[in-house]
Structure 1
């Protein structure tokens, strides 16, 4: 009788652990994936800010030079460059791919965003503008 109760209690505990793992592991994996995606998105923003700093370092540069400066930043692709009378407007895309090892194996996250930066010939910098990316 005592042995049977111990066996039942052990089986109930094993079933509880199995259900807990079945529910908990996907939640932990999703949380880990979301954390990696947030890191990728933060890196996209940081790369865009670095690109902005590179572009604004030489406000008197020609549009070809500004395109080349933006292209020199890793993970940046210049989409358009439009020159006006006193300014140059660049639209660029930043793409970042992150991988990380976790208890659940390798996880991968990709993030991309498009930005526009106006570089004026005078020393008044314009803000970095986030845009929807073209398809």
Structure 2
């Protein structure tokens, strides 16, 4: 006489299936979590980069608002924009028609909460803008940051 022979085989198959599903789920989570964390970090870094460019555009607008201003006034206009540090002011003087070239650095630090905890991204970009008193506006130039 067999007691529970058929039932125990069903239970064993069920446990085996549950074990396989568990191993598969653990494997998927182990692989997916780092990929999702990296993607979330890259998204935060792109947002920081876009914000740095937007700050540089605001600085450009401030600089081009009064193109006839002197070097000190242009430096002050750029310094008033949050996140902008003026690195160099070149030109001006006798050849003011050639324009004044300002080189400035924009730093942006972003933090965000995610499923994976707090993530941080810091972006530093440098830009140059030539301001001429008589000509139309010049393009904002992205330049390498000095060390």
Offset, 1:72? 0.7
Under a length normalisation based on structure 2, what TM-score does the superposition of the two structures give? 0.89
Deviation at 1:64, TM superposition (A): 0.5
CA distance, structure 2, for counterparts of residue 128 and residue 117 of structure 1: 5
CA deviation digits over 1:43-92, x for unaligned, max 9? 11111111000000000111001101101101100000012312111000
Among candidates 94, 100, 110, match of residue 122 of structure 2? 110
Paired residues in the alignment total 135
Relative to the length of structure 1, the TM-score reads: 0.97
Moved beyond 3 Å, runs of 4+: none
Unaligned 5+ segments in structure 2 are: 1-8
Match of 2:107 in 1: 95
Larger radius of gyration: 2
Q: Which has the higher helix share?
A: 2
Instruction: Tell me what 1:58 maps to.
Output: 66
Residue 38, structure 1, aligned to residue 46, structure 2: yes
